[in-house]
Structure 1
């Protein structure tokens, strides 16, 4: 028997958002990245382009800005996308963190998101 594994969708990630799309923001993902739904992102302070969160960076991408609401393939060029960046609740099991993130860095990023009103909840 074949087992089908369904990938996360927006309903798995986003458990609450403010009305009238207030929680969302259109952004531009920097070329050369392929990011998953739920990926935590940061903004490069020099280019204003969005990149995957990089807690070890010093270019602005070390600060958590929000989470992608859809998979984005920007491998061949800068690509428009939408993030949840304010007044929202995300399910922890659907949030995508950098592979190398430490517990301390994750806690710091969660606090940065909480300051924006984005709460990550367990078991929702």
Structure 2
């Protein structure tokens, strides 16, 4: 029997969320990359869509504001109805997926502080 491999799940990073899924929203992930649960997202100001937050972006997505909870196969097209964590949550920092531009611990500290401003505490 071949071994089974489980992909990433919210259990890899999510420690606490508010009751009745208050911490979550349904969102659109912009086309451009396949993303896994735990991806740190920024919101593009012009479109309102979420993308992997890149520190050097200049479209609003440079500020981390959410964390992806569901798989988003967005390499070819936008993913609608993705579930994102946007408020009142506690996450495991080392379970998060950052864009390569958040290359040092100091920069990731900055990203986690921005998530904290959104009400997502990374420990």
TM-score bucket (shorter structure): 0.7 to 0.9
The one of 110, 113, 117 aligned to 2:112: 110
2:21 is matched with: 21
Contact kept, 8 Å, 2:56 with 2:101, in 1: the verdict is no
Give 1:59-70 correspondences, 5 Å limit. 59-70=59-70
TM-score, reference length from structure 1: 0.87
Report deviation, 1:51. 0.7
Q: Which stretches in structure 2 are left out of the alignment for 5+ residues?
A: none
1:87 to 1:97, Cα distance in 2 relative to 1, 3 A: same
User: Which SS does the other structure have where 1:100 is aligned?
Assistant: coil
1:10 is matched with: 10
CA distance in 2 between partners of 1:18 and 1:76 (Å)? 33
Report deviation, 1:6. 4.2
Number of aligned pairs? 120
1:41 is matched with: 41
Give 1:20-99 correspondences, 5 Å limit. 20-80=20-80, 81-99=82-100
CA distance in 2 between partners of 1:105 and 1:58 (Å)? 17
Q: Which stretches in structure 1 are left out of the alignment for 5+ residues?
A: none
* Partner deviation per Cα, 1:51-78 (whole Å, 9 max, x = no partner): 1101111110100011100221012211
TM-score, reference length from structure 2: 0.87
Report deviation, 1:85. 1.0
User: Which SS does the other structure have where 1:101 is aligned?
Assistant: coil
